[in-house]
Every structure is written in C-alpha cells, then in structure tokens.
C-alpha cells in the first residue's frame, strides 16, 4: 500500500461565494492536511482524508473573517475542524475522476461529490515522488448549518447558498 502525505508548501484550499449576487468573495484555509492511500497505481481504490482548521479561514478582510469564525457560520470554538473522507472513486478517463465522500462542517455530515483531475507524478530534485490533483465541487452552505444571511434593499440576499470549492493539492509519497 502506498501512502501519500500532503505537501503544505505546494497546496491550497479555496472557496468562492457570490456576494450581493454580482461578484464573488474568495476565501481559503491556510491550515489543512490530507492523506491518500492506495494499492492501485490508477488510484481507483484510493482512500482520501482531508481536514481544515476552521480558525485558519481567510477572506482578506479581518471583520468578515471574524464573522465567519463566529456562531453564525463555522463556530470555530465548538467546531475547530472541517473534515472530508472519501467513500468511492470512479475513474472517468486517464486524468479525471469522480470522488464521493462525507464532508463534515460544524456537526453536520453530508455526502458530496467532487470532480478530481490527476495532474501527474514526478520525482523532485531531492528524490521524492510527488503527485498532484486539482479538486472542484459545489456545496450548499445551508446543508451544513451555515444559514446566516441578510436581505438587501432591493430584496436580494447578501450571500448565495452555493459555495464553490477548489483545492490544489500535491502529495509526497512516504517511504
């Protein structure tokens, strides 16, 4: 069984939420970890785990970040981590996969489906085998208890319910 650990200096976990229905706010988690284990070289039997430190959320706006960390959203004091654990992987072609798993935010766990692109494998100048993936998906934030919103003067909402997920991850094969 091959085990791959997350390479923090070459990975990022970001999200986008429509604001006022006219633009997107982009955010990220600066502290997260992931592990991939697989027997097969094509990763069809892989198991993937991911966790992010909810207190590390950043949207480049201190006031907004404080609100996201509060009880209206992530409630980081009570729920310091969000997690994902894969349950199935389907290979579509040489590069593209569908990964299904359980995402837990706050105290809510729901199944999610993610589009994953395998970017390849290489050996770095220090002899380490590295593999890269790009992950995209969409969740409804209200499904996970992130229900706060505000109505605008025109009757619209401040925030869209859909959150687009984008993760670029590089793994290092463990000896």
pLDDT tens-digit readout, 135-160 = 999 999 889 987 756 565 665 555 67
All domains of the chain, ordered by start, with CATH? 2-173 (2.40.128.110)
HSE-CB at 36 with a 13 A cutoff on CA atoms is 24
**Is the CB of residue 93 less than 8 Å from the CB of residue 85?**
no
φ, ψ for residue 126 (rounded to 5)?
Answer: -100, 10
Question: Exposed (0-12), middle (13-18) or buried (19+): which is 57, by Cβ within 10 Å?
Answer: buried
In the chain, the largest separation of any two C-alpha atoms, in whole Å, equals 59
pLDDT tens-digit readout, 28-62 = 999 999 999 999 999 999 999 999 999 999 999 89
The model carries a pTM of 0.90
């Amino acid at each position: 069984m091959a085990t791959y650990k997350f390479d923090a200096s070459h990975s990022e976990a970001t999200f986008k939420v429509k604001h006022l229905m006219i633009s997107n706010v982009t955010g990220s988690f600066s502290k997260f970890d992931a592990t991939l284990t697989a027997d097969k070289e094509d990763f069809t039997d892989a198991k993937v785990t991911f966790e992010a430190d909810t207190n590390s959320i950043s949207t480049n706006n201190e006031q907004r970040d404080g609100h996201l960390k509060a009880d209206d959203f992530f409630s980081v004091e009570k729920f310091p981590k969000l997690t994902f654990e894969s349950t199935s992987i389907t290979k579509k072609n040489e590069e593209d996969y569908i990964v299904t798993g359980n995402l837990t935010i706050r105290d809510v766990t729901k199944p999610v489906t993610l589009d994953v692109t395998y970017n390849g494998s290489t050996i770095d100048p220090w002899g380490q085998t590295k593999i890269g993936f790009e992950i995209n998906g969409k969740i409804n934030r209200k499904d996970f208890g992130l229900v706060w919103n505000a109505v605008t003067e025109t009757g619209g909402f401040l925030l869209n319910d859909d959150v687009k997920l984008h993760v670029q991850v590089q793994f290092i094969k463990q000896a």
